[in-house]
């Protein structure tokens, strides 16, 4: 279930907003410049589908968004549990990279979730907005927006990424420990919203 939870930046003791209604989520995020929309989920695309299969399934939506936004690069990123003994370390390292608050100077962060889930935390205007995205969710975080991302202790997702710049993902880390003060992906999925 897609979920938006908003707290004051001082901490998660008070919930300002909590909704799972897509129209309410889009309306709440629009004033801070964040794009949220739902795309149809292609049930025939397995969660471990390769990039070619994902591109083929979502070609119409990808082409439309690329034309609207003039994206230079589109790719597919996936991280799902495997029997590989190195998987847990790979997942931990991937999660750590995005858990620290950061911004992007040169590009928006636009993601469409094909499968699985992840949480974008947006630190804007004295509030923290946690957007728990699942299959079918497209989120566009404007360049310069302070945020972080959590995929949980056992990540499982496939996402299409859109970039205006060919360099891809370049984060400018703020050095803040704010991400440690808010419920993580696993707590939000479990319904625990206080620290």
Residue 109 assigned ligand-binding role = yes
Residue 85 contacts residue 112 (beta carbons within 8 Å): no
Task: Tell me how far the alpha carbon of residue 145 is from its chain's centroid.
Answer: 13
Smallest CA-to-CA distance from 185 within 160, 161, 154 is with 154
Smallest CA-to-CA distance from 159 within 25, 20, 39, 22 is with 39
Q: How far is CA 11 from CA 24, 39, 43, 94, 141, in A?
A: 23, 32, 38, 25, 22
Residue 147 assigned ligand-binding role = yes
Residue 109 contacts residue 140 (beta carbons within 8 Å): yes
| Pairing status of strand 146-150 against strand 3-8 | unpaired
Residues paired with residue 111 on neighbouring β-strands, in sequence order: 139, 161
Tokens matching residue 110:
């636009």
Known binding-site positions for Fe(2+)? 102, 104, 109, 147
- Per the annotation, where are the binding residues for Ni(2+)? 102, 104, 109, 147
Known binding-site positions: 102, 104, 109, 147
């Amino acid at each position: 279930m897609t979920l938006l939870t908003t707290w004051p930046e001082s901490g998660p003791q008070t919930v300002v907003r909590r909704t799972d209604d897509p129209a309410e989520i889009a309306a709440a995020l629009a004033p801070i410049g964040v794009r949220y929309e739902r795309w149809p989920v292609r049930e025939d695309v397995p969660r471990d589908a390769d990039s070619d299969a994902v591109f083929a399934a979502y070609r119409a939506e990808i082409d439309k968004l690329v034309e609207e936004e003039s994206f230079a690069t589109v790719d597919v990123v996936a991280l799902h549990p495997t029997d590989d003994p190195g998987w847990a370390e790979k997942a931990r390292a991937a999660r750590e990279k995005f858990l620290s608050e950061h911004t992007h100077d040169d590009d928006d962060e636009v993601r469409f979730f094909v499968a699985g889930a992840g949480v974008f935390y947006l630190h804007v205007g004295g509030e923290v907005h946690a957007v728990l995205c699942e299959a079918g969710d497209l989120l566009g975080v404007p360049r310069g927006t302070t945020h972080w991302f959590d995929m949980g202790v056992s990540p499982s997702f496939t996402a299409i990424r859109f970039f205006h710049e060919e360099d891809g993902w370049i984060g400018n880390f703020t050095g803040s420990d704010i991400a440690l003060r808010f419920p993580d992906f696993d707590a939000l999925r479990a319904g625990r919203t206080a620290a």
